[in-house]
Structure 1
Amino acid sequence: MPVSERNGTKVWQRRTGRESLFHWVLWLIGVAVFAYCWQQISNATTWFFVWDAPRIAGDIWTRATPPKWEYITQLGKPIWDTLNIATLGTIISLVLAVPVAFLAARNTTPSRFIIRPLALLIIVSTRSINSLIWALLLIAIIGPGVFAGVVAIAIRSVGFCAKLLYEAIEEIDETQVEAITATGASRWQVMAYGIVPQIMPAFAGIAVFRWDINIRESTVLGLVGAGGIGLQLSASLNVLAWPQVALILLVILAAVVISEWVSAKVRGAII
């Protein structure tokens, strides 16, 4: 802490004069950037619709209540497709993420200068693009339907799972690996008996956590034609069938809550 003297008395200060000036300059720059961004957003916003939003929201609420409960008989297959998209996409992503994670981890990669950067590139590229964008691209390539949704979820999840898994691999206890290596075990035996047992709890937790996330993401893939309950939601929105929309949203909420409960129970059992 800097010290200054006033009337011969030492006074403790949090910052020196130069540090305080620099601190205030940063604040001024931040306020100026915020004001500029707000001005740009304000110029591009039709404020009449913003002020009228409460009335529109109230009108939609009136039209959507009560939900059309008899429509629930038509939501069985769509919600089942949504669960399948999330589950199959998670399984495929885990199968692909495991080798990528081992290639990306510093202590297991065959080459830190060639293979590891390529593995990290795969992790970053798959995580950087949202599942909806992947779904749009895949629908243009393989056509609309559940399969496009499964592949979109799988690609989106590879980077997430591989990143968490390779970090878990890098944090293992090296003494166990050294002990198995000292017995003359091969590289694959060291991996199977020294590394895999240590990362299995992390792997199980990652799998359940990602499946929980994919349940949420798969509910909206139907909005772009990738199957699932989102397809029913899009169709109902297009014809302004608000009671059906309300029921679909309630079903999605129930599915998300149940998946959250299941994942929490599984993670609790693993930990």
Structure 2
Amino acid sequence: MSKNETTPVWQHRTTGKRLAIWFAWLLLVALCVFCWQVMTKDTIWAFVSDAPRQAADLGGRMFPPRWSYIDKLWVPLWDTLNIATLGTMLGIIVAIPIAFLAASNTTPSRYFVRPVALFIIVASRSINSLIWALLLVSIIGPGLLSGIIAIGLRSIGFVAKLLYEAIEETDILQIEAVTATGASRAQILNYGIVPQIMPAFYGISVFRWDINIRESTILGLVGAGGIGVQLQASLNTLAWPQVTMIFVVILGTVVISEWVSARVRHAII
């Protein structure tokens, strides 16, 4: 190598790529600034600056919790657990056939049945359980039934999506082994696919039940029963110590359900 030649210097990116990355970051920052201006154009900053004092005042009213109020929460809490459990069961019952119809390796028609099943899954997952409850309260009236159906409708998309993905990920060799014996389509499902997806099915079901307990605690805000009804009544009367007690009960319930869910999933998987 002559003295006039220089050793090439390795660079992770070319100059053009570095400029493109910096330009992309500049656009992202500009977009964030624009979105911030749109979201805060109607904000009254005097209220924001006063928020810490208001929060401290509200916190002072909420403590200590009214422990005597807990006697009135056992029945609503039991209703909440029933809403979550029955709603989960309803969602699972409907989700199982939808999952098999949506899975590419079990659907009877990839061009008609599968798109319909996928649309049902997307529609269920797109609407929050609180919105389902609000609609159902308007249709069939307030009460536990509205909450159960709302939880069930919300659970369909969650369970069906994860379950059909588990079906599509089954080991094809086991399915081919069952098929080679001359088994019918129903026997292939029963002996080749179902045993492979059962651990995932149990885990998904328990996980969804755990989620539904949390979601069912607020359905009473729209009249769908459960402990949310007591929460709404306490908020309307500004009974902040009662609100704190309800929060404590909800927190304890969620912690216990999380522990039960984790133990069950660990035992299954």
Matched, 1:22 2:5: no
CA RMSD of the aligned region, Å?
1.1
Correspondence for 2:138: 140
Runs of 4+ residues deviating >3 angstroms = none
Residues 264, 151 of structure 1: CA spacing in aligned structure 2 closer, same or farther, 3 A cutoff? same
TM-score under structure 2 normalisation? 0.97
For 2:162, which of 146, 156, 164 is the aligned residue?
A: 164
Q: CA deviation at 1:45?
A: 1.1
Give the 3-state SS of the residue equivalent to 1:106 in structure 2: coil
Counterpart of 1:117, as a letter, is P
Counterparts of 2:76 and 2:46, CA distance in 1: 38
Matched, 1:69 2:67: yes
For 1:268, which of 251, 266, 269 is the aligned residue?
A: 266
Counterparts of 1:180 and 1:43, CA distance in 2: 64
Give the 3-state SS of the residue equivalent to 1:12 in structure 2: coil
For 1:119, which of 117, 121, 136 is the aligned residue?
A: 117
Counterparts of 1:227 and 1:49, CA distance in 2: 34
Alignment of 1:173-212 (within 5 A): 173-212=171-210
How big is each residue's C-alpha offset from its partner over 1:37-85, in whole Å with a ceiling of 9 and x where there is no partner? 1112221211112111111111111111111111111001100010000
Alignment of 1:21-40 (within 5 A): 21-40=19-38
Calculate percent identity across the aligned residue pairs: 66
Counterpart of 1:70, as a letter, is S
Aligned residues: 266
For 1:234, which of 232, 235, 257 is the aligned residue?
A: 232
Give the 3-state SS of the residue equivalent to 2:9 in structure 1: strand
Q: CA deviation at 1:23?
A: 0.8
Counterparts of 1:9 and 1:175, CA distance in 2: 55
Q: CA deviation at 1:7?
A: 7.1
Alignment of 1:44-59 (within 5 A): 44-59=42-57
Counterparts of 1:7 and 1:266, CA distance in 2: 69
Counterparts of 1:72 and 1:27, CA distance in 2: 53
Correspondence for 1:13: 11
Counterparts of 2:197 and 2:245, CA distance in 1: 42
5+ long unaligned stretches in structure 2? none
Correspondence for 1:3: none
Counterparts of 1:143 and 1:14, CA distance in 2: 64
TM-score under structure 1 normalisation? 0.96
Give the 3-state SS of the residue equivalent to 1:11 in structure 2: coil
How big is each residue's C-alpha offset from its partner over 1:15-44, in whole Å with a ceiling of 9 and x where there is no partner? 111111111111111111111111122212
Counterparts of 2:243 and 2:204, CA distance in 1: 33
Counterpart of 1:28, as a letter, is L
For 1:251, which of 249, 256, 268 is the aligned residue?
A: 249
Give the 3-state SS of the residue equivalent to 2:232 in structure 1: helix
Q: CA deviation at 1:179?
A: 1.1
Correspondence for 1:216: 214
Counterparts of 1:248 and 1:80, CA distance in 2: 13
Counterparts of 1:259 and 1:85, CA distance in 2: 14
More displaced stretch, 14-23 vs 226-235: 14-23
